[in-house]
A and B are shown apart, each in its own frame.
Chain A
Amino acid sequence: MKLTVNGTEHEVDVEPEMPLLWVLRDELNIKGPKYGCGIAQCGACTVHVDGMAVRSCQLPVGDLEGEVTTIEGLGTPESLHAVQAAWVAHQVAQCGYCQSGQIMQAAALLDLNPAPTDAEIDAVMSGNLCRCGTYPRIRAAIHDAAQKLSEA
């Protein structure tokens, strides 16, 4: 079957029930999305499908409808997405394992809500766990990215 990831079309020979995360990591060698729990409890595997945040471990690839964007396609090292730039500025990551999912979820949040309150950030980001407890920096970086995007 065919799927488009970060603007590139790929052909893969897999069972339709294989989760998208497996296809990305094991078939396409796209390792940004992380495996955390496999049951939508942690958010580490979050990618975008046509701009909406999706837990890629939950989506059978045969049910994929739309183009996939992973952290590798969100920005480039030369031109970071505002959320990525804010993550660097606030030095959000500690161990970093969850951060690809956090950034993808935060970018999707700002697409739907360009100026979220603290409560709205908490409501949206509570499905993305960070065992290092970087939540205060995540919140600060999202506010910063929202500000930067509003000035752009």
Chain B
Amino acid sequence: MQKSVVILAAVSIAGAALAEAALTLPEEGSISRADGQAAFERIYEVVTHPRCANCHVGADNIPMWSGPSYGEARPHGMHINAGESRIGAEFLPCQTCHVTSDDFDTAPHAAPRFGIAWQLAPVEFEWFGKSRAEICAQLKDPERNGGRDWRELVEHLEHDASLNGPVAWGWSPGGDREPAPRTLEEHVEDMALWGAAGQPCPQG
């Protein structure tokens, strides 16, 4: 960990949410390429984890069920298709089962929930089954990351977490679900380290 990066995080009782965070961003260029690549490796482990990747799926708009409790990865049960709206408006709205609540504590096999409307990520943010190089290229491409530079990616994580959105939920998923690797605070810090190192990408 870089000592120059300071995270001030207030962890809420509701579920390890990053309720109030202020990350002192490192100077651009102050992080070595090697440290940036190492940070990206950790980011890759997070974004391809089932808590994150299951709803970062492609143009078929079908969320996935994968992770230790599922064995082989499979499409979401119940014939679910979130449609081009990515919120299920064309078929069954995600929110029919995934209600909006700051209380992440659901039973195993119940529908998980978080503090903003449940939905698939935009189709251009596809992570499920993608390689390191593909995800790295997507994350740094403003055309495919919501128009964000690296500082705005950090802000995006902090903002979503402050709303008890999926970024907070990923590390406190409830119901015996496996959380994303390490901690939310480390993930935010890694996004900053990778950015300050010039967002280096792996080859393969």
A123 vs B81: C-alpha distance when bound (angstroms): 7
Hey, which chain A residues are within 8 Å of B89, CB to CB?
112
B92 at the interface (CB under 8 A from A): yes
A41 vs B100: C-alpha distance when bound (angstroms): 18
Select from chain A the residue with minimum beta-carbon distance to B108: A39
Among the stretches A23-31, A56-64, A72-80, A90-98, the one at the interface with B is A56-64
- With A53-B96, A55-B96, A122-B79: A60-B103 Cβ-Cβ less than 8 Å: yes
A38 vs B97: C-alpha distance when bound (angstroms): 11
User: Which of B77, B79, B91, B110 is close to A58, meaning CB atoms less than 8 Å apart?
Assistant: B110
Hey, which chain A residues are within 8 Å of B77, CB to CB?
41
A14 at the interface (CB under 8 A from B): no
A124 vs B111: C-alpha distance when bound (angstroms): 17
A60 vs B110: C-alpha distance when bound (angstroms): 13
The answer to whether B111 and A63 have CB atoms under 8 Å apart is no
A38 vs B111: C-alpha distance when bound (angstroms): 10
B145 at the interface (CB under 8 A from A): no
Q: Say how far A120's CB is from chain B's closest CB, in angstroms.
A: 7
Select from chain B the residue with minimum beta-carbon distance to A121: B91
Hey, which chain A residues are within 8 Å of B79, CB to CB?
122-123, 126-127
Hey, which chain B residues are within 8 Å of A52, CB to CB?
93, 95-96
A17 at the interface (CB under 8 A from B): yes
Select from chain B the residue with minimum beta-carbon distance to A116: B91
A40 vs B109: C-alpha distance when bound (angstroms): 8
B13 at the interface (CB under 8 A from A): no
The answer to whether B111 and A58 have CB atoms under 8 Å apart is yes
- Chain B interface size, as a band, is 20 to 34
A38 vs B99: C-alpha distance when bound (angstroms): 14
The answer to whether A40 and B93 have CB atoms under 8 Å apart is no
The answer to whether A40 and B97 have CB atoms under 8 Å apart is yes
A152 vs B97: C-alpha distance when bound (angstroms): 31
B23 at the interface (CB under 8 A from A): no
Q: Mark A65-76, 1 if CB is under 8 A from B, else 0.
A: 000000000000
The answer to whether B99 and A59 have CB atoms under 8 Å apart is yes
Hey, which chain B residues are within 8 Å of A60, CB to CB?
99, 101, 103
Select from chain B the residue with minimum beta-carbon distance to A39: B110
Hey, which chain B residues are within 8 Å of A59, CB to CB?
99, 101
The answer to whether A39 and B107 have CB atoms under 8 Å apart is yes
Q: Say how far A133's CB is from chain B's closest CB, in angstroms.
A: 16
A96 vs B106: C-alpha distance when bound (angstroms): 28
List 9 interface pairs A-B (beta carbons < 8 Å), by A numbering: A39-B107, A39-B109, A39-B110, A52-B93, A58-B98, A60-B99, A63-B100, A126-B78, A127-B78
Q: Which residues of B contact A (CB under 8 A)?
A: 77-81, 89-93, 95-103, 106-107, 109-111, 113
Q: Which residues of A contact B (CB under 8 A)?
A: 17, 38-41, 46, 52-55, 58-60, 63, 112-113, 120, 122-124, 126-127
Given contacts A54-B95, A55-B111, A123-B91, 15 further A-B contacts (CB under 8 A): A17-B103, A39-B109, A39-B111, A46-B96, A52-B95, A58-B98, A58-B111, A60-B101, A63-B100, A63-B102, A120-B90, A123-B81, A126-B79, A126-B80, A127-B78
